[in-house]
Amino acid sequence: MNMSVRAKETIDACRFCWMCRHICPIGRATGQERNTARARALALSMVERGAEKLNSVAENLYECALCNACTHDCLTGWEPPAFTLEARREAALTGAMPAAIGDLVRRCMEWGNPFAPALPEETAKALREEERPSDTLLYLGESARYKSVASVRQALAVMKKSGAGFTVLAEEPSSGYALHFLTGDTEETVAQYKKCAQVLGQFKKIVVADGNDLLVMRRYYREAGVETAAETVSLWRFLSEQAGGRLRRGMQGAFTLQESCALARDLEEDDAHALAAALGEPAEMLLHGKECVFAGSLLMNEYIPETMACVAARRLEDAARAGAERVLVCDPSEYELMRANNAHGIEIVGLAEAVLEALS
Amino acid sequence: MNDFLFTQILTELEEAVGRENCSVREIDRLTHSVDYFWLSRMWADRGRHMPEADFVVSPKDAQETSKVVKIANYYKLPVTTWGGGGGTQGGAIPVCGGILLDTKRMDKIYEINEEGMYIECGAGTIYKHLEWAANERGYATMHYPSSLNCSTVGGFLAHRGIGVVSTKYGKIDDMVLRMEVVLPNGDIIHTSPAPKHAAGPDLNQIFIGSEGTYGIITKAQMRIYEQPEARRFRGFLFKDMHGAFMAGREILQKFKPSVMRLYDDAETASLIKKIVGVEKPGAFMNVAYEGVKELVDVEERILLDTFKKYGAEDLGSEYGEKWWKEKITFFYPGHMMDLPQMFGTMDTIAPYDKIEKIYLAMKKAVESNFPQAKFIAHFSHWYEWGCMIYDRFIIEGKDVPQDPEEAMRLHNAVWTLGVRTAIENGGVVNDHHGVGIKLGRLMKEQYGPAMQVFEGLKKSLDPNGIMNPFKLGM
Ligand SMILES: Cc1cc2nc3c(=O)[nH]c(=O)nc-3n(C[C@H](O)[C@H](O)[C@H](O)COP(=O)(O)OP(=O)(O)OC[C@H]3O[C@@H](n4cnc5c(N)ncnc54)[C@H](O)[C@@H]3O)c2cc1C
Ligand code: SF4
Ligand code: SF4
């Protein structure tokens, strides 16, 4: 396989190592042995040795959420998502990609997103109303725009109430998140990065609503040598700075926070946590902050919906055990999937919505 | 098997556990063919396929497990149970194909009973998840093996596993109250409601350590403990092993430390130096004592007075604390032995009157017959009457044959000699890693005619011999 030396070394380190299985949200939700870093590494090591064909084990590559919990937990510092991404790239380039993934990639190329050819009418209308000249852009991301009308509505409302001047793009370019997730840094992915960076460059500040987009813009653009002059900031940091002092501390009932793994773990930003703490006294789930647990991806929901349902339901069990009556959710994907798989009667609230209510 | 029959069995298994929980995909068969056993890893490293199951099923409870076992019995298909695959003896490898039954969907926490001080859980629960469930209520499981993150409740029970604080809290067989087991004929049984009784032999202890050959453990009630008010560490350096054994023996007559680990000179100079930083020659011993603070104060005084008599140098608490922090670091790639090295842990156990003799005899036998092998050991898990040796042999990659059959020959020869020496000198085939396929051949040497008790049980419970064939010497 055409992979970096580091990826091959990681595969050989992880293939016989059992130490991070407990932390994998997919493994935990499905109970399947294949959903471990070691299983993926073992399969790829067999491909590398000519004992297995990439296409016969490829499906499993896309069951990893690239949430980096294993990386964070690894005491020797290996990064399984890095080899997984390189293997996805290899699968894309050698025709070993499963058909369902191929379809999503085609959609990303044709539609500019993996979900739909056009925005939901309500979202399109809301965005048209908010387009105005400004040097601050609220970047919503494709998960919210195509799949979570509520997240769009909440983000727009809280931005307005915060008093910030901002605009949105009815024709928002993809950050490249989906293509990167599905195929790694292929030429096509980098072309999307460049196109997006060019548009972002027309603004001074980009307020990014989805942690996954911010991670791509901050980390993967840099790794691919793509630059943008604009300053990127998460919605939560922006709101903390803009309106943190104006929040009413009156949230009733026990609540907990579902952080964005990309923000809390990969980018080490805890603004969402600070916002939640300003609203009341959150009941922490056992794994939070840098150890927070992935609770679902709308992109993965396109091809493994049962798994995503289990993942979201599992996270809600954690919230229930922490005694929470309400979960404040940061990312649009997790917001939608937790709402759709809520067996505990817990109230699922967007963090933006909670901040909106508390803003005087 | 012909396509027609194969598909017929597949549809029956799908009906039993749900289609999504029954797989014949290569990824599932492959990942269930290599466990933590060195030979399976070496085989894969050489690009060779280990034996794979035909069907991989993940039942969610005893009822679904029972259905699978009934199908297997009807078609006379082998059933190999797989928990976390973290076993070192090849116990979970489906050497005869057939059905691989993965328990990890049986991971429900059914009840946290604070009055009875136990958690009832599915046997496929990863032990670390059980620990989290206990921690959330302010308790601890006190079962801290290095494989806490990866192995299951059922796996530890099936293997008679042990954790680092066992000297105070016991082995896994001391930590279980009650179990639910699916017998090879599909019957679902429960062991007695309490583990200590006079109502016949102990059913728990028949299934604990049976490595999936008598049945499948599907649920267990595992003990939880109060978190200790104080946990303190003390490192010591002994000039010789004999003094260390005698000191350890004397302490166990007085109180039970939680951790007690004595490293021989070779392991002190290698692993302990690398990870804990002890530079001086000698045998390092790390002791932890814990519980109610006032009692811990007293225990500390007794420990220091006793060890002083045996000339131990008191190294203070720093090394012990570092060891505790790093206790699982030893097992990550880069810290742990790994291919191309050949290695193995020949843990055994014996009373104090034999333990030193066994250690010296095994060391001599391995090092003199296999000059390419290094032999290191530590002694952990101490009882009033004896302790266990965790001895390892390591052969550097340059001395390991590249040819997998030759590598297997060398591996098995070292193991046979090492374990046979332990048995001949009064030790047991294994202390806590189990037997699996690795040591099955030595079970008869250990037990002689007593083996018929195990075999008799096997014959009556599993007349078709479907449960985990060629493991445990049966
Ligand atoms: C890094 C590492 C460190 C380790 N350190 C320790 C340690 O400190 N202490 C220790 O005791 N062990 C240790 N081990 C060994 C291993 O964790 C134990 O042997 C453990 O008991 C295996 O559990 P598992 O769930 O992984 O079982 P598996 O490997 O899946 O199976 C082991 C055996 O048990 C049987 N089995 C599994 N589940 C069931 C069930 N529900 N019912 C019936 N049979 C079943 C299998 O058929 C097989 O024979 C370590 C292993 C690793 C990988
Ligand atoms: S990431 Fe680290 S802990 Fe996980 S399998 Fe790889 S080496 Fe082991
Ligand atoms: S990145 Fe996340 S989903 Fe993927 S193997 Fe690691 S822990 Fe599991």
Task: State which amino acid sits at residue B194.
Answer: A
How far apart (Å, rounded) are the C-alpha atoms in residues A233 and B304?
Answer: 57
Tokens for B313?
């140098």
- Per the domain annotation, does A43 fall within a domain? yes
- Indicate the CATH number for domain B3-102: 3.30.43.10
For residue A165, the tally of other CB atoms under 10 A from its CB is: 11
How far from chain centre, in Å, is Cα B92? 12
The burial of B43, by beta-carbon neighbours within 10 Å (0-12 exposed, 13-18 middle, 19 or more buried), is given as buried
Contacts of A32 (CB under 8 A, 6+ apart): B28, B58, B102, B104
For residue B150, list chain A residues with Cβ-Cβ distance below 8 A: 18-19, 21-22
The 10s digit of each residue's pLDDT in B32-71 is 999 999 999 999 999 999 999 999 999 999 999 999 999 9
pLDDT for B394:
97
**Cβ pair B272, B245 in contact under 8 A:** no
3-state secondary structure of B388: strand
The 10s digit of each residue's pLDDT in B102-143 is 999 999 999 999 999 999 999 999 999 999 999 999 999 999
Q: Judge if A229 and A313 occupy the same domain.
A: no
Class of domain B342-432: alpha beta
The torsion angles phi and psi of A344, rounded to 5 degrees, stand at -100, 0
- Per the domain annotation, does A109 fall within a domain? no
Nearest chain A alpha carbon to B103: A31
For residue B111, list chain A residues with Cβ-Cβ distance below 8 A: none
Q: Which residues of chain A fall below pLDDT 70? A: none
Tokens for A349?
């609230």
- Angle, helices B3-17 vs B62-75, to 10°: value is 160
- Per the domain annotation, does A309 fall within a domain? yes
Among A240, A262, A286, where does a domain finish? A240
- Per the domain annotation, does A101 fall within a domain? no
CA atoms within 13 A on the CB side of B275: 24
**Cβ pair A241, A275 in contact under 8 A:** no
Task: State which amino acid sits at residue B218.
Answer: T
Nearest ligand 2 atom, CA A13? 7
Q: Judge if A132 and A235 occupy the same domain.
A: yes
The torsion angles phi and psi of A72, rounded to 5 degrees, stand at -65, -35
CA atoms within 13 A on the CB side of A342: 17
The partner residues of B388 in beta bridges, in order of sequence, read: B349, B380
Among A77, A95, A113, where does a domain finish? A95
Q: Judge if A230 and A250 occupy the same domain.
A: no
Chain A contact for B196 (CB, 8 A cutoff): no
CATH 1.50.10.10 fits B230-329, yes or no: no
**Cβ pair A173, A112 in contact under 8 A:** yes
Mean pLDDT of chain A: 97
Tell me how many residue pairs between chain A and chain B have CB atoms under 8 A apart.
109
* Local confidence band at B271 (pLDDT 50, 70, 90 cut-offs): confident
Measured CB to CB, residues of chain A less than 8 Å from chain B are: 13-23, 28, 30-34, 36, 39, 42-43, 45-46, 49-52, 56-57, 59-60, 74-76, 78, 286, 306, 321-322
Q: What residues does ligand 1 touch, defined as CB less than 6 Å away?
A: A 18; B 35-36, 80-88, 91-92, 103, 123, 145-147, 150-152, 154-156, 158-159, 161-162, 211-212, 216-217, 331, 432-434, 436, 468, 471
CATH of the domain at A144: 3.40.50
Contacts of B45 (CB under 8 A, 6+ apart): A45, B339, B340
Q: Do B32 and A33 make contact, defined as CB atoms within 8 angstroms?
A: yes
Number of structural domains found in chain A = 3
For residue B30, list chain A residues with Cβ-Cβ distance below 8 A: 42-43, 46, 52, 57
What ipTM goes with this model? 0.96
Find the helix or strand (DSSP H, E) in which B289 lies: strand B283-291
For residue B86, list chain A residues with Cβ-Cβ distance below 8 A: 18
The reply to whether domains B109-226 and B342-432 share a CATH topology is: no
Q: Which of B31, B57, B159, B218 to mutate to test the pocket of ligand 1 (most atoms within 8 A of CB)?
A: B159
The partner residues of B182 in beta bridges, in order of sequence, read: B188, B216
Q: Do A22 and B150 make contact, defined as CB atoms within 8 angstroms?
A: yes
For residue A51, list chain B residues with Cβ-Cβ distance below 8 A: 44, 47-49
Q: What is the pTM of this model?
A: 0.97
- Indicate the CATH number for domain B109-226: 3.30.465.10
The 10s digit of each residue's pLDDT in B251-269 is 999 999 999 999 998 888 8
The 10s digit of each residue's pLDDT in A211-255 is 999 999 999 999 999 998 899 999 999 999 999 899 999 898 999
How far apart (Å, rounded) are the C-alpha atoms in residues A115 and B121?
Answer: 40
Mean pLDDT of chain B: 96
Tokens for B121?
């859980």
Among A211, A240, A269, where does a domain finish? A240
**Cβ pair A316, A344 in contact under 8 A:** yes
- Shortest distance, CA A352 to any CA of chain B (angstroms): 29
- Per the domain annotation, does A179 fall within a domain? yes
The burial of A197, by beta-carbon neighbours within 10 Å (0-12 exposed, 13-18 middle, 19 or more buried), is given as buried
Q: Judge if A219 and A279 occupy the same domain.
A: no
A71: containing domain: 5-95
Q: Judge if A184 and A161 occupy the same domain.
A: yes
Q: Judge if A214 and A252 occupy the same domain.
A: no
- Centroid of ligand 2 to alpha carbon of B88 (angstroms): 18
Task: Over range B178-187, report the average pLDDT.
Answer: 98
- Per the domain annotation, does A137 fall within a domain? yes
For residue B443, the tally of other CB atoms under 10 A from its CB is: 18
The domain ranges of chain B are 3-102, 109-226, 230-329, 342-432
The partner residues of B113 in beta bridges, in order of sequence, read: B118
- Per the domain annotation, does A72 fall within a domain? yes
Q: Judge if A341 and A322 occupy the same domain.
A: yes
How far apart (Å, rounded) are the C-alpha atoms in residues A91 and B266?
Answer: 47
Q: Do A31 and B31 make contact, defined as CB atoms within 8 angstroms?
A: no
Find the helix or strand (DSSP H, E) in which A139 lies: strand A136-139
- Shortest distance, CA B166 to any CA of chain A (angstroms): 21
